Amino acid sequence: MAALFFCGRADAIVYVTNPYTGSLSFVGQTNATLLATNISFATFTLAADLAKVGVASSSATNRFMASQWSTNSIATNKFFEFSLTADKISPIPFAAINSLELDFALRRSSSGPRQFEWRSSLDGFAAAITNFSSLNPAINLAEGVLTLPDTASTDTYAGNKIVLFAPSAPGVPNLTLRLYGFQAESPLGQGGLDTPVTFQGTVVVPEPSTAALLVFAAITGAWLARRRKVS
């Protein structure tokens, strides 16, 4: 773990960077929201889930698939949503996510969506994520748009990783990614995620010995505010 120093006043608060890892298993799943398993972390709690929005769940067991994707350009009301939240554990006053690496595999039926795109809450889902650390060689990547081959069978394209970093220090308490599928060859065509989704990254928390300073400052500030109000 690494230490970061931020000086808001004369005293310095030390922030410690902690790693985390996790996975989302599709075993036995067909549609409902998935909660992350095998999460490893320290000094904070971490919650993650994967949900379907605006699409129809497919009956593909052990995969996270859907139909009713757009048959034209991207439809921003049809997506899978992956949410990650870092919560404090007393006496830690807060935790902030400052990096995320997501490893995923895409799958489509012969008439499913040929294009996919990830967006994040860091910019309000305004633009496609373009930072990939690895990519399946059969997938074409252009400005964040992932184009899968047009095959006559159902295939899986694994080995894809996106990397995100919070734009400001120390990070963000919540991070959400959305996977959009589009250019489906039929509304009934299936597309989505295959194999477990795995993720890792770092969360920043105040170093325990200095966390008390933040707690004390918060309590003192609240007391002074009440005193000024009474006066």
Under the banding of pLDDT at 50, 70 and 90, the label for residue 58 is confident
Q: 107: closest CA among 165, 152, 137, 64?
A: 64
3-state secondary structure of 172: strand
Q: 177: closest CA among 167, 159, 164?
A: 164
3-state secondary structure of 68: coil
> 150-189, pLDDT tens digit by residue?
988 888 999 999 999 988 777 888 899 999 999 999 999 9
Q: Are 23 and 40 in contact (CB under 8 A)?
A: no
Distance in angstroms (rounded) separating the CA atoms of residues 86 and 93: 12
> 63-89, pLDDT tens digit by residue?
889 999 999 999 999 999 988 887 766
Under the banding of pLDDT at 50, 70 and 90, the label for residue 230 is low
Q: Are 205 and 87 in contact (CB under 8 A)?
A: no
Amino acid identity at 64: F
Distance in angstroms (rounded) separating the CA atoms of residues 14 and 202: 16
> pTM of this prediction?
0.81
